[in-house]
C-alpha cells in the first residue's frame, strides 16, 4: 500500500473574543503559536499555520514556519483548514487540525491520531483521555469537559456535555470509580474527501443542542475513530489560562 500523506494545519485567528492576539502572546520566551508549531513539527514534517491576520503570518515566517492567509469569514477552524489545505496544493491524504492554543500538545498525540487511519473505515480521528477513577464527580460533570462513549472498535458512539453513560442505582459520587469514563480532547484528523464534505454540511439538530460540531458528523453516518492519550491537554482561552500555562511550563 502507498503510505498515507499527512499534513498538520494550525488555525490561528487574531481576533479572539476572550483573548485578542492570543497566538502572539508570550509563553516562556516564545509565542503561543510558535510553541504549538514546534511541538507538532516533532511528529509531522508538513505543518502550516492558517491565519486571517498579517501579523500572525509575518511572525510564523520569521521563526522559519510556514503559513497561509485565509478568509476572515470562516465560521470555524474546520472551514479554515479546508481553505488552507487547498491553498497549499491539496496533495495530502489526511489533514490533522491542531488548535492554535495548545502549546503543550505532545508528539505522541499526533502519532496516535495518525495510527487511527490504519483502519480504512476511519473517516475522522480524534483523541480521548481516560477520566481518573479517583477523580471527583463534580469534575466529571463539568459541561466544558466533553464526555465520549466508545464501541468495541474504538469508534465514537456519542459525545455529550452531560455525563454518559448514566449509572443507574449508583450514588453519583461513586460513578468515576465504577466506570471508565473518557473525556474528549479537541484535536481532529480527517481524510481529505471527508473534510471537503464536512465543510458543506448544514448544522444538525444534535450539534445545535449540545454545541458540538462532531455530532453533525455522527448524525451524517461518519466513522470517528478514537485514540487514547494519557497526556493532559492545556488549552489557552483567556489571559488567566496563559498564567496557568506559564506556571505549568516552569514546573516542567
Q: Give mean pLDDT, residues 1-20.
A: 89
Same domain, 113 and 89: no
The CA distance from 94 to 189, in Å, is 7
Domain end call among 103, 129, 149: 103
pLDDT for 49: 97
CB 84 within 8 A of CB 8: no
Same domain, 55 and 119: no
pLDDT for 174: 98
Same domain, 98 and 115: no
pLDDT for 230: 94
* Tally of structural domains, the chain: 2
pLDDT for 66: 97
Domain end call among 55, 80, 103: 103
Q: Give mean pLDDT, residues 140-146.
A: 95
Exposed/middle/buried for residue 140 (C-beta within 10 Å: 0-12, 13-18, 19+): middle
- Print the domain residue range for 181: 107-185+193-228
Q: What are phi and psi of 251, to 5 degrees?
A: -85, -15
**Is 9 part of any domain?**
yes
Q: What are phi and psi of 47, to 5 degrees?
A: -130, 135
With a cut of 80, say whether residue 1 has pLDDT above it.
no
CATH number at residue 206: 3.90.550.10
Same domain, 68 and 175: no
The mean pLDDT of the chain is 94
pLDDT for 197: 96
Sequence-separated (6 or more) residues with CB below 8 Å from residue 107: 39, 40, 42, 43
**Is 244 part of any domain?**
no
**Is 251 part of any domain?**
no
- Bridge partner residues of 86 (DSSP): none
Same domain, 46 and 59: yes
pLDDT for 164: 98
With a cut of 90, say whether residue 232 has pLDDT above it.
no
Same domain, 68 and 113: no
Same domain, 74 and 152: no
Give the rounded percent of residues in the chain with a pLDDT score beyond 90: 85
CB 137 within 8 A of CB 173: yes
With a cut of 90, say whether residue 2 has pLDDT above it.
no
With a cut of 90, say whether residue 110 has pLDDT above it.
yes
Domain end call among 83, 103, 123: 103
Confidence of residue 27 (pLDDT cuts 50, 70, 90): very high
Same domain, 99 and 59: yes
pLDDT (tens digit per residue) in 55-109: 999 999 999 999 999 988 887 888 999 999 999 999 999 999 999 999 999 999 9
pLDDT (tens digit per residue) in 144-191: 999 999 999 999 999 999 999 999 999 999 999 999 999 999 899 999
Same domain, 120 and 92: no
With a cut of 90, say whether residue 16 has pLDDT above it.
no
Higher-pLDDT residue of 1 and 208 is: 208
Confidence of residue 234 (pLDDT cuts 50, 70, 90): confident
**Is 249 part of any domain?**
no
Same domain, 159 and 207: yes
**Is 68 part of any domain?**
yes
Amino acid at each position: 500500500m502507498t503510505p498515507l500523506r499527512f499534513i498538520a494545519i494550525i488555525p490561528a485567528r487574531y481576533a479572539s473574543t476572550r483573548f485578542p492576539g492570543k497566538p502572539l502572546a508570550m509563553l516562556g520566551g516564545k509565542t503561543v503559536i510558535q510553541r504549538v508549531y514546534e511541538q507538532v513539527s516533532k511528529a509531522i514534517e508538513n505543518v502550516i499555520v492558517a491565519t486571517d491576520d498579517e501579523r500572525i503570518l509575518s511572525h510564523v515566517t520569521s521563526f522559519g514556519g510556514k503559513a497561509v492567509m485565509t478568509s476572515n469569514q470562516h465560521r470555524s477552524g474546520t472551514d479554515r483548514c479546508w481553505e488552507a489545505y487547498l491553498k497549499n496544493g491539496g496533495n495530502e491524504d489526511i489533514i490533522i487540525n491542531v488548535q492554535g492554543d495548545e502549546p503543550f500538545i505532545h508528539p505522541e498525540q499526533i502519532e496516535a491520531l495518525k495510527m487511527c487511519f490504519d483502519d480504512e473505515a476511519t473517516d475522522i480521528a480524534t483523541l480521548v483521555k481516560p477520566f481518573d477513577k479517583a477523580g471527583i464527580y463534580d469534575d466529571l460533570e463539568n459541561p466544558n469537559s466533553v464526555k465520549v462513549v466508545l464501541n468495541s472498535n474504538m469508534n465514537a458512539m456519542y459525545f455529550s456535555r452531560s455525563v454518559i453513560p448514566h449509572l443507574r442505582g449508583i450514588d453519583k459520587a461513586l460513578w468515576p470509580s465504577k466506570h471508565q469514563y473518557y473525556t474528549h480532547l479537541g484535536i481532529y484528523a480527517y481524510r481529505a474527501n471527508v473534510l471537503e464534505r464536512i465543510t458543506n454540511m448544514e448544522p444538525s439538530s444534535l450539534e445545535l443542542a449540545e454545541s458540538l460540531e462532531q455530532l453533525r458528523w455522527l448524525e451524517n453516518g461518519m466513522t470517528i475513530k478514537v485514540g487514547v492519550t494519557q497526556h493532559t491537554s492545556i488549552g489557552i482561552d483567556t489571559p488567566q489560562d496563559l498564567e496557568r500555562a506559564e506556571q505549568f511550563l516552569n514546573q516542567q
